[in-house]
Structure 1
Amino acid sequence: MTDIKDALTLIDPANGHFLFRWFTFDDNSHFNYLRRNNYYSVIWLKQGAGKLRADFSEYEFAANDLLAFTPYQPFMLTESQPVSGVCIEFHPDFFCIHKHDKEVSCSGVLFNNIYHPPFVKIDTSTAITLDMLLGQIKAEMQNEAMAQYEILISYLKIFLITASRLKAQQQELESQDTDTKNFILQNLKESIELNFKTKHSASDYADMLNISAKALARITKTHFNKTVSNLIAERIVIEAKRELYLTNRTIKEIAYRLGYEDEYYFSRFFKTNADVSPQMYRDTVGFAKAVVNGKIMVN
C-alpha cells in the first residue's frame, strides 16, 4: 500500500484485522491505480480535479466532491489538477451499512446508488459540519479511552447521514424535470427494482417500457453513462453482496433467489462484475454475526 499521511488506524485486538482508518492526503498516489478494497471508502476531495473511473463508467470530479465506495467496488482517480483531502475507510466488521440501514439510510443514496455518480457535491454549510465531525473522529482515534468504538461509530453515522441527506436533496432537484426522457428513466428504475431477480436482459425492460431496445440504450447511456445491462448487473451484485453479508444462505440458495438456477454460472457472473468470487467476498468482507449470551451466532 502507498504510504499515506498522518494515518490513524484502528485494529481489532482479537485478530489483528483492520477496522477503521482516518488519513489526509496531498497527492493522488493512494488512488491513481484501480482499487478494489474489501472495505468502505469515503474520500473528500477538498482540492483538485480530474476523472473518476468507477464500475462501468467514467466521471469528472472537482474540488469538494465526496466520493463513496462499497467493498470490492472498483475505482481509480486520474488527476488533471493536484488533489488533496481527507479519507475515512472502514470494514463491515466495524460498521456495515446494510446491517444499519434503518439507522443511517445511506444504502441506495450515498452507497450502492447505481443511477447516480458515486459522489456528492459538498456545499459550504455541509462542509463545516463534516469538518467538525472529522476533527472529532481524529481526536477520538488519538484517545484510547473507554467506549472508543461506540463514539467513533456515532460520529461515523452522523457523517454518513449528513452526506446522504445532501445527496438525496440534490437528486430530488434533478428529478423535478418531468420531460419524457426522465419519465422513461424513472420507469426503468422502478422496473429494475421490481424485476431484477427474475429479468436479466435489457430487452425485457425495453418491452416493459414499450420502447425499442436501441432507443432505451441511447437514453440510459446518455443519462447514466451506463448500459441497461450494466444497471441490471450492478443491481444484482449489490443484492448478492447484501445476501452474502447478512445471511448464512449458501451460494446456491443466493443464486436461486436472484434468478440463477446454475450456481456456477452465477458465481462466474459475480466474479466478472465484482472481480472476486462470492465465497472470497464472504471470507474477506465477512458476514453478520450477533453476540448472544456471550457466544457469536451467525444471523
Structure 2
Amino acid sequence: MTAQTAFTLINPQTKALAFKIFAFEDDSYFNQQKNYNYYSMILVIKGKGRLKADFSEYEFKENSLMTFSIYQPYMIKAEGEFNGLLINFHPDFFCIHKHHNEVACNGVLFNNIYESPQVQLKETEMELLTTLVNQLKAEMQNTAVAQYELMIAYLKIFLINASRIKIGTQLLKASSTEKEPFILKTLKDAIEEHYKSKHSASDYADLLNISAKALNRISKTHFNKTLSNLIAERIIIEAKRELYLTEKPVKTIAYELGFNDEFYFSRFFKSNAEISPQIYRDTVGFARANA
C-alpha cells in the first residue's frame, strides 16, 4: 500500500482550497509556472536545481525552504533527484496581514522584494520544520474539536521559526561579507518613500544623483533584478494589500499609487501579477467576506 502524499482541507463556504500539504518526489508539479491565490512554502529535502520567481532566477540545493506569496509566479527545474514537502494555505484560512503582530513573517518570508524567496537550512532546522509539518498532517486527519485552531497554532509556530531562521541567516550573511554599499540602503529607502509617485528608474537615478545605467547595474548585482522590476514589484505588493484588505474601488487604489488612468493601472497590474485586479480581489480579497 502506497503512503498518502496529499492532505487537503477545503473551505466549506467557498469550496476552495483552505490548506494543503503535498509530498513530492520529482519536479513535475513545478516545471510549469505556478501562480495561485494562496501562499506556498516548499521544503526541499533532496535535490538541487534552479528556481525562477517573479523576474529573477536562483540556484537551490537540498535542505532549503522556499516561500511564495499569493499569486507570486514561480517555477522550479530540478537536476535529477528532487523530493520534499509543499504547503499551501489560503488567506481565508490564515492571513499574514491580519496576524502580522503574531508571526511577523510578512516582509521576511513573504513580500520582500530585496531578498531571495529561499533560505538554506541547517539539518536541525530542517528537522524542526518537518516535525511541525508532520504535526499539521496528523491534525488534518483528526476531526476532533478545535481542529482548525490547533492547525493554525502549528502553522503559526512554523512561520515564526521559519522567519527566525531567515532573519538569522540574513544577519550572519551581513556580518560575514562586505558591508552593504551605502547606495543600496539609500535606494531601498527611496523606493519605500516614493514608489507611489515615482515609477521609473530614471526618477530614482535623479534622486540619488547617479546615472540610470549605473543604478540599474547595482540593482541587478545586489537584488538579482532590474531597477524597473524592483519598483514594479513594490507597487504590486501594495496594490495587492489594498485589494485584499480594503473595499476601495480599483480606480481609487490606482490613483493612490500614482496612476491617473485606471485602465493603465489594470494593465500594469495584470502584466506584473498575471491576473487582473478584480479577479485578484474576487479570489483572494478579505473585504469580499464582509460584502
TM-score, with structure 1 as normaliser: 0.92
Q: Secondary structure at the match of 1:79?
A: strand
- For residues 44-83 of structure 1, what are the structure 2 equivalents within 5 Å? 44-83=43-82
Q: In the alignment, which residue of structure 2 is the partner of 1:292? A: none
1:239-298 CA-to-partner distances (Å, cap 9, x unmatched) read 000000001111011111111111111111000000000000001113246xxxxxx635
Runs of 4+ more than 6 Å apart: none
CA distance in 2, matches of 1:277, 1:201: 22
Q: TM-score, length-normalised on structure 2?
A: 0.95
Report Cα offsets for 1:63-94 as digits up to 9, x if no partner: 01111111111101001131100111011111
Deviations 1:73-120 (A, max 9, x none): 110100113110011101111111112111111111111111111111
For 2:280 and 2:184, locate their aligned partners in 1 and report how far apart those are by CA, in whole Å.
Answer: 31
Q: Distance in 2 between matches of 1:209 and 1:125?
A: 43
Q: Which whole-Å CA distance do the structure 2 matches of 1:102 and 1:212 have between them?
A: 39
The verdict on how the C-alpha distance between 1:121 and 1:151 changes in structure 2, with shifts beyond 3 A counting, is: same
Let me know the Cα RMSD of the aligned residues. Answer: 1.6
Residue 20 (structure 1) aligns with = 19
Give the secondary-structure state (helix, strand or coil) at the position aligned to 1:13: coil
Deviation, structure 1 residue 178: 5.3
Gap change, CA 1:5 and 1:202, over 3 Å in 2: farther
Seen in structure 2, the aligned counterparts of structure 1 residues 288 and 160 have a Cα distance that, compared at 3 Å, is: farther
User: Paired residue for 2:111?
Assistant: 112
1:281 aligns with 2:284: no
Aligned to 1:297: 290
Structure 2 partner of 1:224: 223
What aligned pairs does 1:118-137 form with structure 2 within 5 A after superposition? Answer: 118-137=117-136
Report the Cα distance in structure 1 between the residues aligned to 2:14 and 2:124, rounded to whole angstroms. Answer: 40
For 2:287 and 2:170, how far apart are their aligned partners in 1? 31
Using the alignment, how far apart are the partners of 1:284 and 1:161 within structure 2? 26
Match of 2:181, SS state, is: helix
Alpha-carbon displacement from aligned partner over 1:94-153 (angstroms, at most 9, x marks no partner): 111112111111111111111111111111232222122111101101101111111111
Return the offset for 1:32: 1.0
Equivalents in 2 of 1:237, 1:5: separation in Å? 37
Q: Aligned pair 1:185/2:184, yes or no?
A: yes
Distance in 2 (CA, whole Å) between partners of 1:45 and 1:262 is 43
Aligned residues: 288
Distance 2:107 2:69 in 1: 11
Residue 218 (structure 1) shift: 1.0
Contact persistence 2:50–2:57 (CA under 8 A): yes
Any idea what SS the aligned residue of 1:36 has?
coil
SS at match of 1:175: helix
- Residue ranges of structure 2 left out of the alignment (5+ in a row): none
Look up the SS of the partner of 2:6 in the other structure: strand
Q: Which ranges of structure 1 fall in alignment gaps of 5 or more residues?
A: 290-295
Letter in 2 for 1:145: A
Alpha-carbon separation, structure 2, partners of 1:116 and 1:17: 31
Contact 1:44 1:64 in 2 (8 A): yes
Kept in 1: contact 2:63–2:123 (CA 8 A): no
Which piece of structure 1 moves more, 216-225 or 121-130? 121-130
Answer whether contact 2:69 2:111 (CA < 8 A) is retained: yes
